[in-house]
Structure 1
């Protein structure tokens, strides 16, 4: 599911990490990744608001996705020394809440870019 699109997104993230290295704040990588994604003609929305419901009731507090690409792929960026289960739980919950199909968790905070791919097992709401 979305393997070609995912490969292009990963390539853009690798380009950003190769150019900037580690040590910057997440917002720096977010801005650079937006440039890299657009230069590859990847349809993307930065900081897209995703509204969440609880028992069918819309919550006032939306989730702000770092990126949504191809209208169905969430990108969550981190710039931490190491990814942990809290970061993984975050992207899994975002996929469940949004109904999007695929998510990538990127960590620019290590000497090598780390990323993980997640699939939403539930159908869209």
Structure 2
């Protein structure tokens, strides 16, 4: 895989990870979102659609999809798709560091397995 193609994939993956983290930050601002009738569907949609972190996360998704489409035009999906796992690794560490989520030994072992798998698949 060319370095430029890997960079394209990596940028798309990192933007996808940023989107997930932004959506999580947005839900922290909004609190628990339920469909329990306390808010009408229009009010709920307005609150979600105007939350800055959520809007930013959705924007990251849009750009990441454009990059992903460009990457898929250059490399097999069997090579590109496993690279999405890099996003899990990035998100796990950022969620642990900045959001206080647990990073247990079992999760660290899983992250290690993911990283080894990505390296193996990228060389194939």
Q: TM-score range by the shorter chain?
A: 0.3 to 0.5
More helix by share: 2
**Structure whose CA Rg is larger:** 2
Instruction: Name the TM-score, length of structure 2 as normaliser.
Output: 0.36
Instruction: Name the TM-score, length of structure 1 as normaliser.
Output: 0.36
More strand by share: 1
Greater RCO (CA < 8 Å, at least 6 residues apart): 2
